[in-house]
Amino acid sequence: MKPISLFMSFLVAIVLATSYNIDAFTRNDFPEDFLFGAATSAYQWEGAADEEGRSPSVWDTTSHCYNESIGGDIACDGYNKYKEDVKLMADMGLEAFRFSISWSRLIPNGRGLINPKGLLFYKNLIKELRSHGIEPHVTLYHYDLPQSLEDEYGGWINRKIIEDFTAFADVCFREFGEDVKLWTTINEATIFAIAFYGQGRRFGHCTPPTNCSAGSSCMETYIAGHNILLAHASVSNLYKLKYKSKQRGSIGLSMFALGLSPYTNSKEDETATQRAKAFLFGWMLKPLVFGDYPDEMKRTLGSRLPVFSEEESEKVKGSADFIGIVHYITVYVTNRPSPSIFPSNTNEAFFADIGAYIISAGTSSPFDATPWGLEDVLEYLKQSYNNPPIYILENGRAMKHDSMLQDTPRVEYIQAYIGAVLNAIKNGSDTRGYFVWSMLDLYEIDGGYKLSYGMYYVNFSEPGLERSPKLSASWYTGFLNGTIDVASQDITTQLQSNFSGSSSL
Ligand SMILES: *[C@@H]1O[C@H](CO)[C@@H](O)[C@H](O)[C@H]1NC(C)=O
Ligand SMILES: *[C@@H]1O[C@H](CO)[C@@H](O)[C@H](O)[C@H]1NC(C)=O
Ligand SMILES: *[C@@H]1O[C@H](CO)[C@@H](O)[C@H](O)[C@H]1NC(C)=O
Ligand SMILES: *[C@@H]1O[C@H](CO)[C@@H](O)[C@H](O)[C@H]1NC(C)=O
Ligand SMILES: *[C@@H]1O[C@H](CO)[C@@H](O)[C@H](O)[C@H]1NC(C)=O
Ligand SMILES: *[C@@H]1O[C@H](CO)[C@@H](O)[C@H](O)[C@H]1NC(C)=O
């Protein structure tokens, strides 16, 4: 997770109830090779920020900007507790685990020498997963650029990133590729470019640029996006040339996928929704599938949108074996006049470019389950982008960290969304996996330790960082081992009463 709050600032909660029917289902209704897993990322889970040769990333820098914040210095201490956590995953019956590699732990200066302790950690983690029959899904970049590269050339807004990121990926493929078959290059590429380059929350700095009309930050969204696509393509081409025939893995790019639906059935809102889809999906998907940016973006942005050379276009096209989807919420889209005038508030720049306002589809909170939004996304990708293979790399429900271990709203949310995935698959979507965010409570980008998504509770005030299962962990375990047939809310009630009697709490 993901800077959702950057979107939240536009959201106005309204009530537009939508009913959604999900038939009874079990794990066995999904294809056998479909992967159910859970996810984390390096900075949010590992901690051990200055242990054994790791150097700071831009995320360390930013989380330390606030008064005495320890940020992810310790987090869940996954670096030291990985065996314990893999055991929990195995007990849950997880089929796959998604994690990311800390670039500055593996290659502390960003390029050059490899840190042998960092290398060993990832080898051990992967071995531990494999020995429990858990498929690793590795993200190469989850926001944590080595600070040295940010200082040297500004990170993703500079084309130098392409060469450095490719060299880092080369080390990962060479060292881990025997045992890793699923690679995501860059996490939530779209919202990463929007939030960290266009919305003034640039990682690696304490005083971010915030003024569109003064600076270049509103341009930087699209420059970073362009470099992300080129870096992804470079890494993907390297894999195909040097590793794929031996290692037989696949490689994809991950995108933040908001559910998007017109607010009214007016022509204006329908068209605004088409534009929003072009900007939020087509921006990355059209180059990946068809080799160029959507016409809507070219028309609106003019010279602010970089141009692919013919050679670049060829490289980017076809460079994703699958699309990774990060999905949490659905919004209604309504038309906004004068799309190309910069607002002074950079937070709004991207939606001003689209020419749209967005309104939460959740009835009481943006986090309310709106599973039809995910089904729509999967259907849209199937119809508009040649039915690409898809992994849902994150889906989950934020709750206050202190809330009870009985996280019933999370259980209901996860259950509903898994049902939506099944509906999409039945209608032909090539979706191949689903990961709950998150395996356990993490250091979150929004809300630090106050807001969490974990199926395991982590007691951050206790030095041992003890893990305890929430209701959602029992639900997922039962779903995965086939004892839960998701037919009705009865399951939740039954689980709840069994759970409160459980001695482990
Ligand atoms: C920083 O933290 C200290 C100690 O908790 C507190 O007294 C001080 O007011 C804080 N400063 C700011 C700017 O928040
Ligand atoms: C942004 O920069 C422009 C030009 O320097 C200035 O006139 C304007 O007041 C600034 N806006 C904000 C919100 O700081
Ligand atoms: C199912 O797929 C067909 C063919 O792609 C499409 O026309 C239809 O709208 C889809 N149904 C739903 C409920 O999305
Ligand atoms: C977390 O740990 C603290 C300190 O040991 C303890 O007081 C508290 O009860 C624990 N919280 C939970 C929910 O277990
Ligand atoms: C299946 O999961 C449930 C938790 O929901 C657990 O109580 C049960 O022991 C598990 N059964 C098997 C066979 O693993
Ligand atoms: C709850 O416990 C009862 C009695 O042990 C058991 O029969 C039932 O399957 C359990 N339900 C779930 C959902 O684990």
Structural domain boundaries, residue 194: 6-258+370-377+390-498
255 compared with 369, residue with greater pLDDT = 255
Q: Return mean pLDDT, the chain.
A: 89
What pLDDT does 483 receive? Answer: 84
Give the integer Cα–Cα distance in Å for 293 and 284.
8
Q: Is residue 129 over pLDDT 60?
A: yes
**HSE-up of 96 (CA within 13 Å, CB side)?**
27
Do the domain assignments include residue 267?
Answer: no
Is the pLDDT score of 119 beyond 80?
yes
Give every CB contact of residue 52 below 8 A, 6+ residues apart in sequence.
115, 117, 118, 121
Q: Which amino acid is at 285?
A: L
Of 333, 337, 377, nearest to 359 by C-alpha is 333
Q: State percent of the chain over pLDDT 90.
A: 73
Both tokens of residue 28? 């066995």
Q: pLDDT tens-digit profile of 257-309?
A: 999 999 999 999 999 999 999 999 999 999 999 999 999 999 998 988 999 99
332 domain residue, yes or no: no
Residue-wise pLDDT for 457-483, tens only, equals 999 999 999 999 999 999 999 999 988
Q: Is the CB of 491 under 6 A from ligand 6?
A: yes
Contact at 8 Å (CB) between 356 and 275?
yes
Tell me the mean pLDDT in the region 98-125.
Answer: 98
**Does some domain include residue 396?**
yes
In-domain check, residue 224? yes
Quote the pLDDT of residue 491: 64
What is the reported pTM? 0.91
pLDDT of residue 489: 52
Q: What is the pLDDT of residues 188-247, one digit of tens each?
A: 999 999 888 876 667 888 865 555 554 445 678 899 999 999 999 999 999 999 999 999
For the CA of 69, the nearest ligand: 1
Q: How far is the CA of 385 from the centre of ligand 4 (A)?
A: 49
Question: What pLDDT score does 12 carry?
Answer: 38
Domain-embedded: residue 138: yes
Q: Is residue 336 part of a domain?
A: no
Question: Is beta strand 356-360 parallel, antiparallel or unpaired with respect to 330-335?
Answer: antiparallel
Residues with CB under 6 A from ligand 5: 474, 477-478, 481, 483
SS3 per-residue string spanning 311-370: HHHHHHCCCCCEEEEECCCEEEEEECCCCCCCCCEHHHHHHHHHCEEEEECCCCCCCCCC
Nearest ligand, CA of residue 463? 4
- How many domains does the structure of the chain reveal? 1
Mutate to test the pocket of ligand 3, among 20, 379, 425, 431 (most ligand atoms within 8 A of CB): 379
Say if 415 falls within a structural domain: yes
Residues with C-beta less than 6 Å from any ligand 3 atom:
379, 383, 427-428
Structure tokens at 275: 């534009």
Q: Is residue 149 in some structural domain? A: yes
Domain CATH for 64: 3.20.20.80
Q: How far apart are CA 148 and CA 111, in angstroms?
A: 9
The rounded distance, in Å, linking the Cα atoms of 71 and 441 is: 14
Q: Atom 9 of ligand 3 has which residue's CA nearest to it?
A: 379
Choose the residue to mutate in 401, 457, 459, 460 for probing ligand 4, maximizing ligand atoms within 8 Å of C-beta.
459
**Residue owning the nearest CA to atom 7 of ligand 3:** 383
Task: Please give the pLDDT value at position 321.
Answer: 98
